[in-house]
Amino acid sequence: MQNQLNVALIQSSLVWENPVQNRINLRDKIETISEPLDLIVLPEMFTTGFTMNPKDVAESIDGVTVKWMTNIAKEKHSAIVGSCIIKENEKFYNRLLFVEPNGKINSYDKRHTFTLAGEDKVYESGKDRLVVDYKGWKICPLVCYDLRFPVFARNTDDYDVILYVANWPKVRISAWDTLLKARAIENMSYCIGVNRVGLDSNSYEYSGHSAAYDVLGERIDNIPIGKEAIAIVTLDKMHISKYRTKLGFLNDRDTFTLK
As annotated, the active-site residues are 44, 110, 144
Q: What pLDDT score does 225 carry?
A: 97
Q: What pLDDT score does 259 carry?
A: 81
Beta bridge partners of 140: 162
Q: What pLDDT score does 254 carry?
A: 92
What residue spans define the domains of the chain? 4-252
Q: What pLDDT score does 76 carry?
A: 98
Q: What pLDDT score does 193 carry?
A: 98
Low-confidence residues of the chain: pLDDT under 70:
none
- Residue ranges of the alpha helices (H) in the chain? 19-30, 64-76, 119-122, 150-153, 173-187, 237-247
Q: How many CB atoms lie within 10 A of CB 60?
A: 11
Q: Domain 4-252 belongs to what architecture? A: 4-Layer Sandwich (3.60)
Q: What pLDDT score does 172 carry?
A: 98
Length of the chain, in residues: 259
Q: Which residues of 114-133 are buried (b: 16+ CB within 10 A; e: fewer)?
A: beebebeebbbebeebebbe
- pTM summary value: 0.97
